[in-house]
């Protein structure tokens, strides 16, 4: 496919193509005729079988749940604002697409930090940009907000066609996205959803639907255990969106749909296997057979701690679910030590915003509050092999 589109570009772009270090860079269309030809070539690209390193389809959108009416209760309203962040923001007029096609466009992705997950995110972006024949640069500030701000300025100076930004700070994101907007550069917020003030300047958001996928996972466990059980929760960092998505969200889901799934305890040991192990060992002693289910916010360190405690206590009867899907977590599922985890493709986290950018450049109407979530699935011992090898 790449050779076919290289030939197309050579014929439709007056300036031709530039080859450097094995990376094709297509010149911008020089006339209306070239722009039209570039658009047609871009639309003709077949992405239907582009896959990640785990063999899963990469350039597809997950389900976007409809936004329900705002609840009157303040506590419920606070949860609603987290779950549906950015979905009903009153925005400024978005920068219109020129509709000249994605081929040759300069896409700059600004990441957050050095971590195996982010390495996989970058890999997904590269796969997607190669498929779309777009230029791609990935800049990593390694957790430094000042450096990330400098990268925003650099993207403006380099006249990026679009910027994909995973902001390190909610307050700082307002100025970051406004700067890009004022410079006439459309921006997509990916991985982390910014606050409403920043969302006013954001073309679209792409992210895992943490709330939705944990409802799916909670439903899976409830059905498997007959809708009745005593549940212990190992949380994410208190106060952040993942804490509410992976704990409070599930507690409330069970209250509404499975009232016999009773909460026994909620603990926050951090991402520390020994501390998690101690929490679960204490639960086994304290609750005995009343403890039948555990919801875990992390399938790696926390997952290891939970599985070790249950194994040492001889409690293979306890049903365990967790946020996934790291190699550690999938190995635990394969070994039967965790019953189910979420599928959250790190490569899709990088590829889906590229797809949104491509749709934008190809003239697709994204809508006023565009939200594109990653595909979802529940990984179990029965299907875990189909998600191997792990991306991180």
| pLDDT tens per residue, range 272-284 | 999 999 999 999 9
Query: Cα–Cα distance between 6 and 26 in angstroms, integer?
Result: 9
pLDDT of residue 86: 83
The CATH code of domain 211-344+380-386 reads 3.40.50.2300
User: Coil, strand, or helix at residue 116?
Assistant: helix
CB 97, CB 360: distance < 8 Å: yes
Among candidates 211, 141, 125, which has minimal Cα distance to 176? 141
pTM, full prediction? 0.84
pLDDT at 152: 98
pLDDT-derived band at 5 (thresholds 50, 70, 90) equals very low
The confidence band for 81, taking pLDDT boundaries of 50, 70 and 90, is: confident
The domain segmentation of the chain, as residue ranges, is 74-208+346-375, 211-344+380-386
Q: Looking at residues 164-168, what average pLDDT do you find? A: 95
User: What is the spatial distance between Cα 86 and Cα 77, in angstroms, rounded to a whole number?
Assistant: 14
Stretch 322-341: mean pLDDT: 96
Check residue 29 and give its pLDDT: 56
Nearest Cα neighbor of 124 from 384, 343, 351 is 351
Q: For 286-316, write each residue's pLDDT tens digit.
A: 999 999 999 999 999 999 999 999 999 999 9
pLDDT confidence tier of residue 195, bands split at 50, 70 and 90: confident
Q: Which residue has the higher pLDDT, 22 or 34?
A: 34
Say yes or no to pLDDT of 17 above 90. no
Nearest to 12 by CA among 22, 135, 30: 30
CATH 3.20.20.70 at 74-208+346-375, yes or no: no
The alpha carbon of residue 104 and the mean position of all alpha carbons in its chain are separated, in whole angstroms, by 25
pLDDT beyond 80 at 336 = yes
74-208+346-375 and 211-344+380-386 have identical folds: yes
| 43 contacts: CB under 8 Å, gap ≥ 6 | 101, 362
- Report percent pLDDT > 70 for the chain: 92
Residue pair 299/327 in contact by the 8 Å Cβ criterion: no
Quick check: 272 and 303 in contact, CB under 8 A? no
* Strand pairing category for 23-26 and 17-20: antiparallel
The confidence score (pLDDT) of residue 10 equals 33
Q: Please, which pLDDT band fits residue 30 given cuts at 50, 70 and 90?
A: low
| Chain centroid offset of residue 256 CA | 27
Sheet containing 187-190, strands listed edge to edge, beginning at the edge strand earlier in sequence: 135-139, 106-110, 162-165, 187-190, 204-207, 370-373
User: For the residues of 221-275, what is the DSSP string, one character each?
Assistant: HHHHTTT-EEEEEE-SSTTSHHHIIIIIHHHHHHHHH-TTEEEEEEE---S-HHH
């Amino acid at each position: 496919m790449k050779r076919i589109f290289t030939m197309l570009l050579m014929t439709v772009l007056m300036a031709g193509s530039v080859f450097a270090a094995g990376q094709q860079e297509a010149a911008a269309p020089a006339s209306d005729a070239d722009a039209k030809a570039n658009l047609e070539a871009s639309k003709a690209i077949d992405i239907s079988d582009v896959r990640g390193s785990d063999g899963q389809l990469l350039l597809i959108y997950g389900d976007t749940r409809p936004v329900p009416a705002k609840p009157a209760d303040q506590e419920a309203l606070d949860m609603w604002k987290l779950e549906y962040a950015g979905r009903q923001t009153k925005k400024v007029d978005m920068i219109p697409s020129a509709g000249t096609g994605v081929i040759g466009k300069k896409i700059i992705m600004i990441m957050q930090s050095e971590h195996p997950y982010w390495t996989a995110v970058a890999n997904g972006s590269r796969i997607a940009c190669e498929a779309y024949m777009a230029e791609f640069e990935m800049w990593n500030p390694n957790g430094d907000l000042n450096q990330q701000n400098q990268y925003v300025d650099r993207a403006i100076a380099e006249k990026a066609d679009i910027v994909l930004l995973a902001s390190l700070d909610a307050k700082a994101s307002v100025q970051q996205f406004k700067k890009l907007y004022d410079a006439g550069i459309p921006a997509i917020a990916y991985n982390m959803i910014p606050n409403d003030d920043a969302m006013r300047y954001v073309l679209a958001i792409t992210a895992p639907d943490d709330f939705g996928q944990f409802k799916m996972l909670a439903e899976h466990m409830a059905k498997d255990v007959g809708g009745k059980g005593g549940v212990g929760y190992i949380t994410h960092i208190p106060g952040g969106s993942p804490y509410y998505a992976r704990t409070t969200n599930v507690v409330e889901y069970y209250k509404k749909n499975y009232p016999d799934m009773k909460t026994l305890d909620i603990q926050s040991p951090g991402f520390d296997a020994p501390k998690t192990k101690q929490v679960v060992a204490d639960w086994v002693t304290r609750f005995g057979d009343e403890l039948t289910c555990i919801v875990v916010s992390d399938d790696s360190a926390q997952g290891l701690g939970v599985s070790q405690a249950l194994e040492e206590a001889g409690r293979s009867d306890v049903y365990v679910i967790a946020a996934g899907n790291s190699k550690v977590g999938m190995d635990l599922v394969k070994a039967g030590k965790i019953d189910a985890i979420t599928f959250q493709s790190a490569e899709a986290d990088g590829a889906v915003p590229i797809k949104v950018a491509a749709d934008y450049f190809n003239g697709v109407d994204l809508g006023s509050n565009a939200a594109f979530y990653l595909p979802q699935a529940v990984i179990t011992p029965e299907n875990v092999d189909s998600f191997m090898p792990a991306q991180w």
